[in-house]
Structure 1
Amino acid sequence: MTERTETAVRLVILLAIGTMAGAAAFTHVHDLSVAHGQPDWIGWANAVAVELMAIYLGLELRARRRVCRPVGLVASLLVGFALLSLAAQVAEAEPSVWGWTVAAVPSLAFLALVKVVLSNAPALPPAPEPDQPPVDWDETPEQTTTDPEPEHPADPVPPAVPAPAAVSAPAVILPPRGVVQSNRPHVVGIIR
């Protein structure tokens, strides 16, 4: 089986499980809301809010981890919405161990699917190591001369050759002092 075929099969399975588990979870939350006195449209609004918040919070958790931001509140909310969804599934079930287990399957499958998809981070190549140490932009570089010493001081001085026209380099925009973006290496440029 080629990698492309395997990816296509995985996508079909993902969509099938996600659609069926999501539909069951949405329906249980809707039915529970309606059974407890909410109008039909509010039942659907509750289902959308509970189920999609779990997906959104999973995405937010992944984004925060990527940029090393705190995840405590988001993780707590994710657990809370997952438990709320699971409670809605179990509340609609026959009051037995098997009834609760079977009713919990759509919610658990949906949440497991979200977890697997969101934890499948793309592999990023490691940042290349700089060849030279970082440059301190606050220091002024020492002026050095590049004129070679004449080998024979008695030799006549060659006629002056006009210098080539100066080529202007593009302007470099640096971030404000003290600000380093997390996705950029600490070396902004290398002066040669």
Structure 2
Amino acid sequence: MLRSLRLDPVLIQALIAGALSFAHLHDLAEAAGQHGWKAWAYPVSVDLLLVAAWRRMRTLRAGGDSAHAAWVWFIIALAASLGANVATAGLLDMNHIPAVLRIIVAGWPALAFLGGTLLAHTPTPPADTPASGPDPAPSDPEPVADITVDRAPEPAPELPAPIPPAEPEPKVPAVQVPPALVEHARKVADTHRATTGSPIDTDTLRARLGVPAPMADAIAAQLT
């Protein structure tokens, strides 16, 4: 059991600071005319308001709400504690306390009561509602009986009408022949028919006109 008891330096420092602040508040209250148990009640009131404001501030901040009001009461309690420490450091004559300080000490109980009441009755942010359980599985639908419906046979689709074959386009000679040359070739062909009694052939026409073979074929195609 002795091993589980450990001295925490932070806790010791807090106890020493709290005891000194408690004593300074007591001395200031007694110097301001509050004797007996009243002088001991003042430091208790200041420290309790300081702790209550700090705890309320942490609760509000944890819930994501504004903690401005708790901050105000925390600063008021801290100023009372710090002011008592400074006042008892020799800056004031403890045998002749100023009237303003006596008024502040005398009015502190009402101020502390107001702050403690507001901190205690501030609505606490609602806790998150537990998540609802999964939705119940839907019941299986009733089986539907298979119903066969006889349908009339669909008519056969109409076939498109046959497309008539396209008429062959007239053969166009690959070589363009001047009309004057065609007329001259026609005269040469007529002379050859009158002389020989047979139509002129392509080779003879090409030799008579002195044109290349493709042009001679084109001229012969126009003479037929």
Instruction: Name the TM-score class by shorter chain.
Output: 0.3 to 0.5
Length-normalised TM-score, structure 2: 0.40
More helix by share: 2
Length-normalised TM-score, structure 1: 0.47
Structure with larger RCO (C-alpha < 8 A, sep 6+): 1
| Greater C-alpha Rg | 2
